[in-house]
Amino acid sequence: MKHISHYNDNTPFTTKDGSQIRELMHPHIHGNLLQSLAEATVAPGMETLLHKHMQSEELYHITQGNGLMTLADNCFAIKTGDTICIPPGTAHKIKNTGTSQLKILCSCAPAYAHNDTLLIEQK
């Protein structure tokens, strides 16, 4: 197992929900076992698609910017320093309402998996 991951060694990719993701630590890449940690980036004026994960619980920690979070039937403003818990099976999306990139640390347990992402909205 690699016990350290360097930011620039992890190439960003686009997930099903439309966000840019940089896996910082993931079992399929780094050999850890139970969770994943990634940085998501949402450009100004953009939003992810409404989606849910049936297995993974997610924690979003906002490290830069501000936006609007939809979590089930709730919609609320988020800003740098906020942390949001997204229970498994809960529909969610996030919109960047600011003028700079919205950056989010995303922790998933069990680890993020593309096949656990169910889109509710389509592009």
**What number is the average pLDDT over the span 64-90?**
98
Token pair, residue 49, equals 């698609």
**What number is the average pLDDT over the span 75-84?**
98
Query: pTM of the predicted model, to two decimals?
Result: 0.88
Domain ranges of the chain: 7-119
Percent of the chain exceeding pLDDT 70 equals 98
Token pair, residue 37, equals 């940690």
pLDDT at res. 26: 84
**Is pLDDT of 114 > 90?**
no
pLDDT at res. 28: 79
* Strand 57-64 with 83-86, pairing: antiparallel
**Is pLDDT of 77 > 90?**
yes
pLDDT at res. 1: 57
pLDDT at res. 91: 98
| Interatomic CA distance for residues 117 and 112, integer angstroms | 9
Homologous superfamily of domain range 7-119: Jelly Rolls (2.60.120.10)
Token pair, residue 63, equals 């490290």
**Is pLDDT of 46 > 90?**
yes
**What number is the average pLDDT over the span 61-80?**
98
